[in-house]
Amino acid sequence: MSKRIKKKGISSSDLKASLKGLEKKSNSRLAYFNITEDEINQNPEKVVKELSHTVAMIPLSQISVNHDQPRKDFDEEALQELVDSIKEYGLIQPITLRRFNDKEYQIISGERRYRASKLAGLEEIPAYIRIANDQEMMEMALVENIQREDLNPIEIAITYKRLKDEFGLMQHELAERVSRKRTTVTNFLALLKLPPSIQDYVRDGEISMGHARELARLDGLQIQDYFLQKILDQNLSVRKLEALIREYKNPTPKKTASNNAIPEEYQNVEKSFQEFFGSKKHVKLKMKDTEKGKGQLVLSFNSVEELNNLLDRLDD
């Protein structure tokens, strides 16, 4: 964290000063949060508008996690890096909380920052406060979380499905709600058609979403596993995987042997037989395996009389 800050030209002292300014600004508005439910009910629009641009310092003891939030996995190493950063600079980016009352809040987004702040020994952290019912809170939590860059594709796909199912959204409505193209949403949802064993490879970053999208287009676990191993063993790019799957679905017909493929010495033998029987149409050499010299010499006829004529030539 400190290396990235130095690259941007921000000193530690400037950063700490900015954080103190944030705390000072937040503390000046803390009294606003000592509001009653009646005040919220009487003028909810005013309260929501004020809260939308207000940051408050909330004690960690008053904050609880949202067990329905989409993110379940937290990288321990990355979490410890955040803890070290918070110990040095404090928590810079506020989390977002739902207000139950003036001493009870629940996390909408920012559980990772909340966890790191607890491990860093902080007693309070900056937060944006929202007022929402259960359904609104769930939607806010889902939408805010999928806009984060550190979610893996499977977490995003699960979040899209929850939004779609729990709020009865059509795919185009879901795309509008999360500000994504409809095709993007469709591609994410397709990942959930994959078996859990392959989803784990996506979740762990061992194969990309592009690889997973191609595997999802295959029918059957056995063939999906076959191409998964191809990806892992040969380090296939998505483009190469696409080509292999296309060849699998539409195999190139094998070319049959023709006279043009017959070696010259075999063509000479065919010609000799044709001259002997006095007709090219009655004698045909067919190669089965040019490399091994395997094939057939076919003598064709259209009647018993024609066959007898050919046999007469053998007698001569």
Active site residues: 111
User: Can you read off the two tokens belonging to residue 195?
Assistant: 């078996």
Question: Which amino acid does the sequence have at 122?
Answer: L
3 state DSSP class of 168:
coil
- Taking the CB of residue 252, how many other CB atoms lie within 10 A of it? 6
Please say whether the beta carbons of 151 and 143 come within 8 A. Answer: no
Angle between helices 196-203 and 153-166 (to 10 degrees): 120
| C-alpha to C-alpha distance for 192 and 124, rounded to whole angstroms | 39
Sheet holding 55-59, edge to edge: 55-59, 124-130, 95-101, 104-109, 63-64
129-163 burial code (b ≥16 CB/10 A, e <16): bbbbeeeebbbbbbbbbbeeeebbbbbbbbbbbbb
Rounded Cα distance between 201 and 210, Å, is: 12
Please name the residues in contact with 257: beta carbons below 8 A apart, sequence gap of 6 or more: 286, 287, 288, 290, 295
